[in-house]
Structure 1
Amino acid sequence: MFATLNEKLNAVFRKIKGQARLTEDNIRDAVKQVRLALLEADVNYKVVKKFVSAVQEKALGEEVLKSLTPDQIFIKIVHDEIVEILGGDESEAKIKLNPIPPTKIMLVGLQGSGKTTTAGKLARFFQKNKKDVLLVADDIYRPAAIDQLEVLGKQLKVDVFADREKNDAVTIANDAVKYAKSAAKDVVIIDTAGRLHIDENLMNELINIKNSIQPDEILFVADAMTGQDAVNVAKTFNEMLGITGVILTKLDGDARGGAALSIREVTGKPIKFVGTGEKLDAFEQFYPDRMASRILGMGDIVTLVEMAQDAIEEGEAERLADKIQKKGLDFNDMLQQMKMIKRMGSFESILKLLPGFSGMGQINVDDSQLKRIEAIINSMTPQERTNYKILNASRKRRIARGSGTSVAEVNRLVQQLQQMNKMMKRFKKQFAGKNKLDKNMLKNLFR
C-alpha cells in the first residue's frame, strides 16, 4: 500500500545524503518534497500541515545543522513524526479486557468494509490468547451475513449466536450478552449491519445497541482502499457513537495509504488492528513504530519474529536443534521447514517485513517454486529422503519424472541441502571451544 510514498520519501532522503552539508534552504526544500509526497498519498491536508510544521521546526534546530550525520537525524525526525501521527503511544492500541467477563466488542462501519471477516479474524486473535469467544450475528439486513459468520465460526470452532426469527438488532445483542454470561464466555464480538453514516434510522439503531449492552469497545472497521472517505466516515461515526478504536482492512491493497496516516489524527482514536490479506491469520495488532518503519522501507523484524513464533512449534524447533548437533538436516527436515514457512504466509508478505523490501509494492516471488520442491521430495523414497548421498543418476531421473520436474532441478535441491548443512557446520566451528553446541542458540534459528 505504501509503495509510492516509500519511493518518494526515500528519493528525498537520497537527495539529502548527496548534500555536502545541510542548510536551512535545502532542509526547507526537503520538507516541501515530503509535504508533496504526503498529499499525493491522499493524507488529510490538516494532518500534512501539522506533520510538516513539526518536521521543519525540529530539522532546523542546531542539533541537525551541526551534526556530522545530519541526513540520518533528518530521517529519524521524519520517522518519529510518522509514529506520532499514527498514534505514538502503542498502549492505546491494546484492547482493554473487562475484569468481569465477558468483554463486549461492537464492530461498526460501512457495508462492504469487511466487518464480518474482521469479526472472524478478531475471534482468532483472542483464541490465540486463550480466550473463549462468542461471535454474534447482529446484521438483520444482509441475507447472507448470518451464514457467512456461521461458516467462519465452524472454521475457527467458535460459537456463533444467531436468531433468524427476530428482526430487532438490539434484542439480539441483549440476548447474545445474556447467553455469553451464562456460558462463561470471555469475549463477545458483535457483528452489526453495515450502514451509511447519513442513514439516521440505522445510526440510531447502533446508538440503541450501545446504550443497551454498554460495550467495552466500539471498533470502526474502515476499508483502507477508500482513502479520505474512510477518514471522514470514521469521524462521523465517532461523533455519533464515540468509537474506541479503528480496524483498517485491506492494507495489502494498492491504495495510496492516506487513510492509515490520517485516521488517528482526525478521529483522535487509535488504530488497534490491521487486516493484511483475505485469510483469517492475515491480521495484526497495530504498532505505530513498526508501521512507520514499514512506510520508510526499514522493515519490521519484530513482527516477522512474532509470525515465526506463531508458526513454528517449540517441540519441532528443539528436535531440529538436536538433529543438527548430531548428523545434520535431511529432506524430511527441509519439507518440514517449508511447511512452517507456508504457515507464516506467502514469501511476498514475509519479504515485505525485511529492511529494504518494505513498501516496495508488488514483489514478484513465485510461491509455486515451493510446490515444485515439495513434489520433488514427495517423489523420493523414505531412504532417499534421509540419505541424499544414495541419489545416483537413475534415481534422480525417476524422481524428476515422478515430480514433473527436471534432473537439473533435483540436482539444485540436493545442492541446497548440502549448502544448508555446510552452513550449520561452520556455525558449529564458531563454538569449537565448547564440548557441545548451545542448543538454545540453534533452536532460536528456527523460532
Structure 2
Amino acid sequence: MFDALSEKLQATLSDVRQRGTLTEDDVNAAMREIRLALLEADVNFKVVKSFTASVKERCLGADVVGALNPGQQVVKIVDEELTALMGGSSAGLAFAPRPPTVILMAGLQGSGKTTATAKLARFLKENNDSSVAVAACDVYRPAAVDQLVKVGGQVGATVYEKGTDENPVDIARWALDQAKQDGKDVLIVDTAGRLHVDESLMEELKEIRKAVKPTSILLVVDAMTGQDAVNVAEQFGEAVNFDGVIMSKLDGDARGGAALSVKAVTGKPILFASTGEKLDQFERFHPDRMAQRILGMGDVLSLIEKAESQVEEDEARELEKKLRKGEFTFEDFLSQLKMMRKMGPLSSLLGMIPGFQGSQLKNMKVDDRELDRVQAIILSMTPEERRRPELIKGSRRLRIAKGSGTSVQQVNQLVKQFGQMQKVMKQLGRGKMPDLQALMRQAR
C-alpha cells in the first residue's frame, strides 16, 4: 500500500534527519523531493502545490532552520500536514434518529461497489450489531443481482431483490418499505454504475435519492485509478452531493494519489477503505494512522484492534497462564497461527509495525506460504505429538514430513525452533532473562 510513495518520502526525510542543522536551502531541496514524490504518486497538482507550500512555510517559520535537532521537527510537520490532507480526524458514518438508516451507494462500473456494499453490511453487523438489509438496484450489469445475493448472504445481510425487469427506483422504494416492515436498522442500496459519468446515471441516482431519502450517500472509488478516481468524485459531487468516500482496492495502490487528493479536491472525507479481496478486509479510514504508515512509523493501533477482534478475553487469560508455566504446546501454537491468519496477510501485519515498511519488507521476503507449511506440519502430527513434542523422533518425523508435503529437514527445524521457544517462555515465566544469543546459536 503506497509503497513507492512511502519509500521516496522516507528516503527524503531520512536525509533530513541525518543533518545536524538545516538551512533554508536544505528545506527547499527536501520540498523539491517531496513535490516530485507526490506528483509521481499521481497526487493532484494543485494539492501538491498547496501541501508543499504549507510544509515549507511551517518549516521556515517554526525555528526548524538552525535548530539543534531539526530533523524530527520536519518529520512531525510532514506527518501533521499529510494527516490534514487526508481529512484530519477520522470521520464517522451518520445514522438516522429513527431506523432504518438508509445508505445509498454510488460509483462507476468496475469500482467495486457491489462488493463494497457487502463489506459495509458485514462491518455494520460486526461492529455496530446492526440488523442490515441490502437492496439490489443494479439491474443493468449482467449478474449484478446474483452477485449481491451471493455476497450479501455470505455476510448475513437480508437481500431485497426483484430481478432485472423492474425499474431501479421502484425496487429501491419497495426495499425501503420492506426494511421498515422487517425492523431493519440499516438499508444499503446498491445502485447501477456506468463505464463513465453520464447524464442518465446521475438522473437515476437523483430519482432513487428522492424515493428513499438516504441518510448518507457514499461514493465508491477505485484507488488504483489515481487522478481518474478524483475526477469522478468531483463530478459526482457536483451532481448528487455525496457525503463520504469508500476507497476500494487500496491494498493494490502503490502510489496513493487518489487517497491523498480526494478530500482536498471534493471536501468529502474517506470513511472506509477496502484493503483486500476478502469480505472482512474492510476498515474505517484513519488519516493519522495512514500518514504514519506512509512515513514508516507503523500503525500499531490498527494492529491492536485487529488482534482484539480475533482474541477472546478468556482465551487470552488461559494462554497467559500456559505461557507463564511454560506449558505452551503445538496445539496452542496452531490456534495462534490460525488467529493470525484471520487478521490478514503477514506482509500487511508487518507493515503496521514501525520500521517494517517498503524496502524492509521486500528484503525480508515475507511469504505467507511459509505459514501454510508450518500449519501443514502441525496438522500432520497426532494430538499426542502436538501436546508432547518430545515424542517426535525418527519415523514420526518422516511420517509428518510425508503427510505435510514437506521435508524431514523442515520438520526438524520447526521442532527445534519450537523447543527453543518453549525454553524462552519457561525462563521468562520464572522471571529470568534468557540468553537469546546462545539460544539463536542452538536453533541454527
**AA aligned opposite 2:7:** E
Ranges in structure 2 where 5+ consecutive residues have no aligned partner:
434-444
- The Cα offsets for residues 310-344 of structure 1, whole Å up to 9 and x where unpaired, read as 12233322221232234511111111111111111
What RMSD, in angstroms, separates the aligned Cα atoms of the two structures?
1.8
CA pair 215-348 structure 1, distance change in 2 beyond 3 A: same
Any idea what SS the aligned residue of 2:49 has? helix
Instruction: Work out which of the residue numbers 101, 104, 107 in structure 2 matches 1:106.
Output: 104
Name which of structure 1's ranges 357-366 and 270-279 shifts more when overlaid on structure 2. 357-366
In 2: Cα distance, 1:12 partner to 1:235 partner: 31
TM-score when normalising by structure 1: 0.92
1:324 alignment partner AA: L
Indicate the residue corresponding to 2:141 in structure 1: 142
2:15 paired with 1:20: no
Contact 1:174–1:213 (CA under 8 A) maintained in structure 2? yes
> Offset at 1:415?
2.0
Aligned residue identity for 2:147: Q
Report the counterpart of residue 338 of structure 1 in structure 2.
Answer: 337
1:176 Cα deviation from its structure 2 partner = 0.7
Q: Would the alpha carbon gap of residues 405 and 202 (structure 1) be closer, same or farther in structure 2, given more than 3 Å must change?
A: closer
Instruction: Provide Cα deviations, 1:192-228, integer angstroms capped at 9, x if missing partner.
Output: 0002564212211101111221101100100011111
Which residue in the other structure is 2:324 paired with?
Answer: 325
Q: 2:315 & 2:235 partners in 1: Cα distance?
A: 49
Q: 1 CA distance for matches of 2:373 and 2:270?
A: 40
Equivalent in the alignment of 1:445: none
Q: Does 1:29 align with 2:26?
A: no
Length, aligned pairs only: 430
Preserved CA contact (<8 Å) 1:166 1:172: no
C-alpha distance in structure 2 between counterparts of 1:429 and 1:155, whole Å: 47
Contact 1:225 1:251 in 2 (8 A): yes
Q: Summarize deviations over 1:257-305 as a string: whole Å, max 9, x none.
A: 1111000000000000011111001111000000101111211111111
Alignment match, 1:373 = 374
Q: CA contact under 8 A between 1:329 and 1:417: conserved in structure 2?
A: no
121, 124, 139: which one pairs with 2:119?
121
TM-score (norm: length of structure 2): 0.93
Task: Indicate whether 1:427 and 2:425 are aligned.
Answer: no
CA contact (8 A) 1:231 1:263 kept: yes
CA change 1:255–1:404 in 2 (3 A) is closer
Offset of 1:42 from its aligned partner? 0.8
Q: Distance in 1 between matches of 2:309 and 2:327?
A: 25
Instruction: Measure how far apart 1:164 and its partner are.
Output: 1.8
Per the alignment, residue 49 of structure 1 pairs with: 49
Mark the CA change 1:294 to 1:28 in structure 2 (over 3 Å): closer, same or farther: same
CA distance in 2 between partners of 1:103 and 1:419 (Å)? 54
Which whole-Å CA distance do the structure 1 matches of 2:208 and 2:395 have between them?
71
How far apart are 1:166 and its partner, in Å? 4.7
The secondary structure found in structure 1 opposite 2:219 is: strand
Distance 1:348 1:58 in 2: 35
Q: Look up the equivalent residue of 1:173 and give its one-letter code.
A: A
SS at match of 1:63: coil
Match of 1:438 in 2: none
| 1:361 Cα deviation after fit | 9.5
Between the aligned partners of 2:430 and 2:27, the Cα distance in structure 1 is 50
Q: Secondary structure at the match of 2:251?
A: coil
More deviation, 163-172/200-209 = 163-172
Percent of residue pairs bearing the same amino acid type: 51
Hey, what does 1:399 align to over in structure 2?
A: 400
Once the two structures are TM-superposed, the CA of residue 428 in structure 1 deviates from its matched residue by: 2.3
Letter of the structure 2 residue corresponding to residue 5 of structure 1? L
Taking the aligned partners of 2:62 and 2:259, their CA distance within structure 1 comes to 32
**Given that residues 2 and 361 in structure 1 are in contact (C-alpha distance below 8 angstroms), is that contact kept between their aligned partners in structure 2?**
no
Q: Deviations over 1:84-134 (max 9, x none)?
A: 1100122xx211111211110011010000000000100110110211100
| Displacement after TM superposition at 1:74 (Å) | 0.3
Letter in 2 for 1:144: A
1:230-277, Cα deviation, whole Å (9 max, x unpaired)? 101101101110100001111111442111100000000000001111
Q: Which residue of 2 aligns with 1:444?
A: none
C-alpha displacement at 1:346, in angstroms? Answer: 1.4
CA distance in 2 between counterparts of 1:429 and 1:50 reads 57
Deviations 1:380-435 (A, max 9, x none): 22221111122232322232233232222122111222222223223323399xxx
Match of 2:251 in 1: 252
More deviation in 305-314 or 230-239?
305-314
1:29-86 CA-to-partner distances (Å, cap 9, x unmatched) read 1112111111111110111111111101110024212432201100110110000110
Structure 1 residues 335 and 144: CA distance shift in structure 2, 3 A: same
Distance 1:181 1:389 in 2: 61
Matched residue type, 1:116: T
Q: Say which SS state the counterpart of residue 218 (structure 1) adopts.
A: strand
Query: Using the alignment, how far apart are the partners of 2:281 and 2:360 within structure 1?
Result: 17
Mark the CA change 1:53 to 1:327 in structure 2 (over 3 Å): closer, same or farther.
closer
2:88 corresponding residue in structure 1: 88
Distance (Å, rounded) in 2 between the aligned partners of 1:359 and 1:190:
38
CA contact (8 A) 1:275 1:283 kept: yes
